């Protein structure tokens, strides 16, 4: 049965000081099926306390999202960056295992370098996949925005080299590259038919093609994506797994707009019926 998850990044972020200790209180108010834990860079300095807290509150977090700077360092390449990638990735894997996540989402590329040195990203994937499997985790590559080519091109390239690879489709990132419509085309049906798509990030987008100033994660309904059409495709493919909403909703005082987030969860459930 499909599970609607909320990203921790949607409720623990800059407006509330990234105070992860608010999680237990907020979780009692949210009508989702579980959470996708989003690792933040400042938390590396308090991994012991963070891990202990998350294990204590026992939230259901079947998916964890790796800290995003890992992808940027992969793209930059070089021995020193690769060494740091492996160090940070190991920390992320250990946390994912500790909180009993099964899926581990990664931005395989990122930052200013993005996909401009894609051979670095291709080669590093194999190393990370092996390490993730050591911890019992399924590593999933997200269709992260690019500044040289586009996510679908790289997804196809990776799938050709690594036939068993799994991906995350983020609706906002697809729309940013005007690829939201392409996912409905028969040319890409093999991605679903062969089971490569194993998780979704459900976010709206209000900008145009590669419209960088408007690359904002929006609650569904606040942008231009046709989610009725999108979820019809999802149902047609027979997918019945996990979906994560990542858009935040805050009041001016930094408190989470729980009602708005709950309306979003309900709307997705209605689309999936």
* CATH of residue 86: 3.20.20.150
On the question of pLDDT at 1 being above 90, the answer is no
User: How many angstroms separate the CA atoms of 100 and 115, rounded?
Assistant: 31
User: How many angstroms separate the CA atoms of 119 and 227, rounded?
Assistant: 34
Model confidence over 162-215: pLDDT tens digits?
999 999 999 999 999 999 999 999 999 999 999 999 999 999 999 999 999 999
On the question of pLDDT at 249 being above 90, the answer is yes
Domain count, the chain: 1
Model confidence over 34-82: pLDDT tens digits?
999 999 999 999 999 999 999 999 999 999 999 999 999 999 999 999 9
Q: Which domain holds residue 8?
A: 3-272
pLDDT at 242: 98
CA of residue 273 relative to chain centroid, distance: 23
Q: What average pLDDT does the segment 13-35 reach?
A: 97
């Amino acid at each position: 049965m499909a599970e609607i998850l909320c990203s921790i990044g949607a409720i623990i972020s800059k407006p509330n000081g990234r105070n992860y200790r608010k999680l237990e209180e907020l979780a009692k108010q949210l009508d989702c099926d579980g959470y996708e834990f989003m690792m933040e860079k400042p938390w590396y300095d308090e991994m012991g306390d963070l891990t202990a807290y998350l294990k204590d509150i026992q939230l259901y977090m079947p998916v964890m999202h790796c800290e995003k700077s890992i992808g940027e360092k992969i793209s930059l390449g070089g021995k020193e960056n690769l060494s740091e990638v492996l160090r940070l990735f190991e920390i992320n894997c250990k946390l994912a295992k500790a909180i009993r996540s099964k899926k581990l989402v990664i931005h395989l590329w990122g930052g200013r370098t993005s996909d401009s040195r894609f051979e670095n990203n291709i080669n590093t994937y194999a190393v990370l996949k092996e390490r993730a499997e050591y911890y019992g985790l399924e590593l999933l590559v997200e269709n992260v925005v690019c500044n040289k080519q586009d996510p679908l091109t790289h997804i196809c390239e990776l799938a050709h080299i690594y036939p068993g690879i799994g991906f995350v489709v983020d609706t906002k990132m697809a729309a940013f590259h005007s690829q939201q419509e392409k996912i409905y085309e028969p040319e890409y049906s093999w991605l679903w038919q062969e089971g490569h798509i194993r998780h979704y990030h459900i976010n709206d987008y209000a900008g145009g093609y590669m419209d960088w100033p408007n690359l904002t994660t929006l609650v569904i309904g606040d942008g231009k994506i046709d989610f009725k059409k999108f979820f019809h495709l999802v149902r047609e493919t027979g997918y019945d797994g996990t979906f994560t909403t990542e858009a935040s909703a805050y009041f001016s005082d930094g408190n989470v707009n729980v009602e708005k987030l709950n309306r979003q969860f309900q709307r997705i459930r209605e689309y999936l019926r």
